[in-house]
Amino acid sequence: MAKFKRIINGECHFTMIELFDDIEKATNPQNRGELVECNIDNLRFDNTKVKKEHDGTNPNASAEAKGSSSEETQEVPGSKTESK
């Protein structure tokens, strides 16, 4: 079964609330505290891409179809269709 990956790029504004043991740790932006709450506002999607994941069954598989539906197909010998 084929798997597909969706990649969504966008922007948002967020607010994170963290708890710390002391004020020195809380004032340093490099420190991470205990995450209490995270709110996301103004979520905007810029673009979305979908890619086919290779599952290892066919190493030459591609997400892009080859050929054109307008091309005429060749007759297969032994088929039961009538030729023109």
pLDDT in tens, 13-46: 999 999 999 999 999 999 999 999 999 999 999 9
* In the predicted structure, residue 84 carries a pLDDT above the cut 90: no
Quick one: pLDDT band at residue 78, thresholds 50, 70, 90? low
| Burial class of residue 10 (count of CB atoms within 10 Å of its CB; 0-12, 13-18, 19+) | exposed
pLDDT in the model for residue 1: 78
Residue 5 amino acid letter:
K
Query: What does the mean pLDDT of the chain come to?
Result: 79
The most confident of 13-27, 45-59, 64-78, by mean pLDDT: 13-27
Phi, psi of 28 (to 5 degrees): -90, 115
Comparing CA positions, the residue from 13, 83, 67 lying closest to residue 44 is: 13
81 pLDDT more than 70: no
